[in-house]
Amino acid sequence: MEPHLLALVATGAAAVAIIVGCASPTTSGPATDAPRQHPVHRDGDKVWIEVPGFNPGTYASSQHGSQARILQTLGETSVTYDDLICYDAFAFRTNVHEQFCPSAGHPACGYRCITRASKVIPWNMALYSALPWDKPRSDEQTITFQAQTCAAIKASIDRGVPVHYGSEEEGLIIGYADAGRRWWCVHPYHNNGKEAFWHDEAKGFAGDKWPWAVVVWTEPKPPDERADERDLLVAALKQAVDMWHSDKRHDPRDGHGYYCGDRAYAFWIERLDEIEASRAVASKGDVHGMGWCFDVIVHGRRRAAPWLRRQAAQFEGDARAQLLVAADHYDQLVQACMADVNCPWDLFQWSGEADAWPADLRRKLRRRLEAARQHDAAAIAAIEGAVHAIH
């Protein structure tokens, strides 16, 4: 486990993600006495920072969305959400679970897209990890660990720096009470990110249990410790190519697998053909999982296209030309997927009855997946050409 990221993994069919709304286009160590980063409010023993939440339609990746919100709160304008999901190659990934579990839309599931965002973020971080598959702590160790975590959260809020927390999905601790033992939070899966809440009063992904991980941003990185963004770009592009040609990946915790890249499209289209031929029934889980994965494809490519154009500006010749070709194909992919619909989820309407996914919507989806597959293949070919030209 790398100390600079949550690496939260939703396991198999037990994981549930509910998309709401449609959007428009590490270093461990104690917190330092860095200057306060954001105005801190106090009312009795409640201490908090005013930080807006976000919903899954705005930021499909709760991990990167939480990081982006902290950057925005700290006034860090050099790194954006688009940078985070593109450097991590999440924006280029097509990933589906063999049972269409919606966990396939999470950057830590299947082919993982979680290794480079923390490198481009210009802050050091301290990780307080309590992953359920780690070696259990003794009761005494747990008490000490939780006290240390609460103290670190309190110190961070006192400095005006939100705290990143989560289990299957992630959000922000933006305040505390009881000397840091109660947490005031925002989370995309609590009322769509619209309101803050007490962690011990929430349910589901947002709270009610000790989180798998808490990440405290401790201090700005010195200039000589910041990653070379060109190196990160090349690594992201190489990962995009590798994902497209990837084999099936199994989750060691439940044995189920994820298809990625071209194989994901092939598996997905085959499943739709089986439903069309009445060899399989479209379950509510199928519709939900497919909808989430489709939404993430549109979300990622919509952001990848302008990002690649910005990156292309630093190059000349074939590298620049190939990145622009890839960006054009991603634009065309989004246009093909979104033709005549306002939201990706318009294709995944469910009446509540058995086998209740309308055939015309399934057929529309199949045609769009075929088009997306072609544009993705062309974009990856261009990206591969850009990588060769850069080197």
Domain parsing of the chain, residue ranges: 12-97+116-225, 229-390
Which tokens belong to 362?
């399934």
Fold of domain 12-97+116-225: Cathepsin B; Chain A (3.90.70)
Would you place residue 6 in the very low, low, confident or very high pLDDT band (cuts 50, 70, 90)?
A: very low
Where residue 62 falls (left for φ over 0; alpha for ψ -120 to 50; beta otherwise) is alpha
- Mean pLDDT, the chain, rounded, equals 90
Q: Tell me the per-residue pLDDT of 316-345, one tens digit each, with 9 for 90 and over.
A: 999 999 999 999 999 999 999 999 999 999
b or e along 90-120 (b: 16 or more beta carbons within 10 Å of the residue's beta carbon)? bbbbbbbbeebbbbbbbbbbbbbbbbbbbbb
- For Cα atoms 69, 38, 81, give the angle at the middle one, nearest 5 degrees: 15
Q: Tell me the per-residue pLDDT of 276-306, one tens digit each, with 9 for 90 and over.
A: 998 888 888 899 999 999 999 999 999 999 9
Q: Are 362 and 276 in contact (CB under 8 A)?
A: yes
Burial class of 38 by CB neighbour count within 10 A (0 to 12, 13 to 18, 19+): middle
Pairing of strands 170-177, 182-186: antiparallel
Q: What DSSP character marks residue 222?
A: P
The single residue listed with the structure tokens 């939201």 is 343
Which tokens belong to 279?
């060899």
pLDDT at 355: 63
- In sequence order, the β-bridge partners of residue 165 are 171, 214
Q: Say yes or no to pLDDT of 369 above 80.
A: yes
3-state secondary structure of 194: coil
- For Cα atoms 226, 231, 232, give the angle at the middle one, nearest 5 degrees: 75
**Pick the residue with more confidence: 22 or 204?**
204
- C-alpha radius of gyration, the chain, whole number: 21
Q: Tell me the per-residue pLDDT of 181-200, one tens digit each, with 9 for 90 and over.
A: 999 999 999 999 999 999 99
Q: Say yes or no to pLDDT of 124 above 60.
A: yes
Distance CA 175, CA 233 (A): 35
Which tokens belong to 162?
């939100």
Q: How far is CA 388 from CA 185, 310, 319, in A?
A: 45, 19, 8
pLDDT at 19: 29
pTM of the model: 0.90
Q: Are 386 and 326 in contact (CB under 8 A)?
A: yes
Distance CA 198, CA 193 (A): 13
pLDDT at 182: 98
**Pick the residue with more confidence: 317 or 4?**
317
Would you place residue 219 in the very low, low, confident or very high pLDDT band (cuts 50, 70, 90)?
A: very high
Q: Tell me the per-residue pLDDT of 256-281, one tens digit each, with 9 for 90 and over.
A: 899 999 999 999 999 999 999 988 88
Distance CA 362, CA 283 (A): 13
Of the candidates 235, 217, 229, 261, the one whose C-alpha atom is nearest the C-alpha of residue 88 is 235
Report the Cα–Cα distance between both ends of the chain, in Å, rounded: 31
Q: What percent of the chain has pLDDT over 90?
A: 81
Q: How far is CA 325 from CA 144, 185, 309, 376, in A?
A: 54, 42, 9, 11
pLDDT at 18: 28
Mean predicted confidence (pLDDT) in 335-360: 88
Sign of CA dihedral 301, 78, 109, 356: negative
Q: Are 21 and 56 in contact (CB under 8 A)?
A: yes
